[in-house]
Structure 1
Amino acid sequence: METIRINQGGKMYGIKSIRPVGGHVIQVVFADGIPESFGDIQVYTSGGIQCADLPGYSTVYRQDGDTVYLSDDGSVHQPPGDPGGQPTEPYVPTLGELQGAKKAEVAAACERVIYRGVSVTLGDGKTEHFSLTEHDQLNLFGKQAQLAAGAGLLEYHADGQPCRYYSAADMQTIIQEAMWHVSYHTTYCNALNMWIAGCQENEEVEEIFYGADVPGEYRSEVLNAYLLQIATIAGGSGDGEAS
């Protein structure tokens, strides 16, 4: 279960989902308990890794049970007028607002997928998992420098495991698979952004999600190369997307 905390506080709150629903509004569905106040929101994966930082969401836009809508511009929901007055029309976000919210949504999803990391099969046949937060990625870049300098054994650790020495061959495998994972998802997210920018109707934007098949006209040559590589490994046609 994903969790959030507010303003870098100590208490963590379990959530079922968090997503943007407008240019300045996000929806948070809580699983167990709701904070008394809000502000800067830090989002964590089920493994406890921070995957997003959403600053300024201090205003409760509206609340429906365990579902809370927060705004970062101080706006609040205006309910319809009373029966004797003129009802207020529900707000319909503009295409630009939906595109901005959708880009933020897929960027957060991409970050979560990257941070979850990769499972790597090492030379002894055992598989270990490695998270890929920004800190982890920087560590691996450092290992590249050690490899280039000719190191035969390199210290590192898999998720939840003590630090140990890895052979140069195993470390090279870890780095290669980690870099492929980061580069592929970054490229795929870029293609999603191109698709979002090309939408002409609100409904088109709303149907896009992380993991969707990107139409051919929005696929870059780099993404096509990745998809061909995936298809070759899987024995498929090359039409798959994010995993």
Structure 2
Amino acid sequence: MALEKIIAVIALSATLLDGSLDAAMPDKNIDGSVFIINRQHSVSRRYVPSDLRKAETYGVSQQMRTEAATALEQLFEAAKEAGVPLSTVSGYRSYSKQATIYQRKVDSIGRKAADRISARPGTSEHQLGLAMDIAKKGASSLTTAFANTPQGQWVMENAHRYGFIIRYLKDYEDVTGYSYEPWHIRYVGVEQATAIYESGLPMELYMSGYRLEIYDYLIHQVIE
């Protein structure tokens, strides 16, 4: 192996060991569309997206980041044209608002049960401005029954075309940390949403595989 390649291998190994390469992965970029936030990866109480705007859609609590809001408007328009109009229920939430929601759940059903259905402050996708809870037009309740409605079926089959995924899938509660939420959609961009949809996996598992592909590519680039 040439000296240059040996040096490159050593350099790559060093970045793997010190975590700098891991930190540069797309799912670690807090302002990127595929940043993963969950019980293991949180954001500070001070984090507020810099480009929030109100989506021009039917419903309430319509704030999202600009790119996500535009995509949501397109999704809602397509759903309307398909005869399955939708309504927004909950978009961006501040750290303090999430803290209030979470504590209310804890007071009502206990911490263990609350953790299955509500994010602790700093671990909610809503704070990223990339998530939206939706329902059929005219409804405001969020239940798994949404999955069996024409609206829910359409969203499951078409959300990826507009850059959204169903974030908390059925049968993957142990991976995502949350119960099935067919109403909770997360913006990741069309390319990644399509890939995640086609994989049938939750975001955590898909991104783990995606990271391995990046590592593998970099290693082969160095040793070839």
Shorter chain as denominator, the TM-score bin is under 0.3
Normalised by the size of structure 1, how large is the TM-score?
0.25
Would you tell me which structure has more helix in proportion to its own residues?
Answer: 2
Normalised by the size of structure 2, how large is the TM-score?
0.26
- Rg larger for: 1
Would you tell me which structure has more strand in proportion to its own residues?
Answer: 1
Higher relative contact order (CA 8 A, sep 6+): 2
